[in-house]
């Protein structure tokens, strides 16, 4: 959906996108020893390019059962506008914490997609030279007991990871979902807890297992 004309908006977007840089992964994950680009990093990446070209945006929440759904609408000072569609993220747990986490992810993904923002490492060269990571070893048994053994903070991070896996898998990016889990460096209980959070999408878990098996074979062949 869009306004009758988006000529001026398109011109402004072309200029803004030439100025937008990647969102810096500057937030530390204390449990998984990794970094990620949060919503505020994405906002900071687009703030100046948008304002200097007469652009702004609004994010509209939509009602959807068991999911957080947000639509990013790009606005131009001329009055022209463009809807970038609705991004929906499933809620892993139907409580305030679950909906809050899913909402943050949905807003971040929607905003990043609308303006073409990709996260970038604060030390990309180091990452490029890093040795291959050991592939994730899937737990033999996925039970809810491990979930109950986690601290409240650990559960928040597991929910965040499971939401990200669902979004990536929903886009057909199984490799990306596996990468996200690998970067978390989960311990045994955390692995089992994560696997239990994904038990309702067994086909995705099967596809991820196959991807990890292929990675282990590739590392073994080096």
Residue 99 sits in the same domain as residue 156: no
DSSP secondary structure string, 1-57? -B-S--HHHHHHHHHHHTT--PEE--EEETTTTEEE--HHHHHHHHHHHHHTTTEEE
Tell me: do 45 and 113 sit in the same domain.
yes
> Do 21 and 112 have their domain in common?
yes
Picking from 68, 93, 121, the residue at the C-terminal end of a domain is 121
The reported pLDDT for the residue numbered 121 is 47
The count of structural domains within the chain is 2
Residues 6 and 110 in one domain: yes
Indicate if 116 and 155 belong to the same structural domain: no
49 and 144 inside one domain = no
Same domain? 26 vs 117: yes
Positions in the chain whose pLDDT score sits under 70: 22-38, 92-93, 118-144, 220-222
The gap from C-alpha 138 to its chain's centroid, in whole angstroms, comes to: 21
Q: So what's the pLDDT on residue 119?
A: 60
**Calpha distance 19→1 (Å, rounded):** 25
Domain boundary among the residues 103, 121, 139 is at 121
Q: Are residues 111 and 142 in the same domain?
A: no
Q: Which domain holds residue 196?
A: 130-222
Q: Are residues 62 and 135 in the same domain?
A: no
CB 66 within 8 A of CB 91: yes
DSSP-based three-state secondary structure for 172: coil
Same domain for 43 and 106, yes or no, is yes
* Residue that terminates a domain, selected from 121, 149, 169: 121
Token pair belonging to 98: 């679950």
CATH number of the domain enclosing 60 = 3.30.390
Task: Check residue 138 and give its pLDDT.
Answer: 60
- Give the CA distances from residue 123 to residues 89, 116, 181, 186, in Å, rounded to whole numbers and listed in that order: 29, 21, 20, 22
pLDDT of amino acid 137: 63
């Amino acid at each position: 959906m869009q306004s009758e004309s988006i000529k001026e908006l398109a011109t402004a977007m072309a200029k803004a996108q030439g100025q937008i840089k990647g969102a810096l992964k500057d937030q530390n994950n204390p449990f998984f020893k990794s970094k990620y680009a949060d919503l505020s990093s994405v906002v900071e990446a687009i703030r100046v390019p948008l304002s200097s070209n007469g652009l702004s945006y609004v994010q509209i929440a939509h009602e959807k059962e068991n999911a957080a759904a947000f639509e990013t609408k790009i606005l131009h000072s001329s009055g022209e506008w463009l809807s970038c569609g609705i991004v929906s993220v499933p809620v892993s747990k139907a409580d305030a914490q679950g909906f809050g986490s899913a909402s943050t992810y949905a807003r971040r993904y929607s905003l990043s997609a609308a303006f073409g923002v990709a996260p970038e490492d604060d030390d990309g060269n180091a990452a490029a030279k890093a040795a291959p990571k050991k592939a994730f070893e899937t737990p033999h048994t996925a039970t809810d007991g491990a979930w109950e053994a986690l601290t409240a903070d650990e559960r928040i991070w597991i929910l965040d990871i499971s939401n990200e896996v669902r979004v990536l898998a929903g886009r057909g990016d199984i490799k990306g979902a596996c990468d996200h889990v690998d970067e978390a460096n989960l311990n045994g209980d955390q692995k089992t807890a994560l696997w239990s959070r994904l038990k309702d999408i067994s086909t995705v878990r099967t596809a991820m297992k196959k991807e990890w098996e292929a990675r282990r074979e590739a590392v073994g062949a080096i």
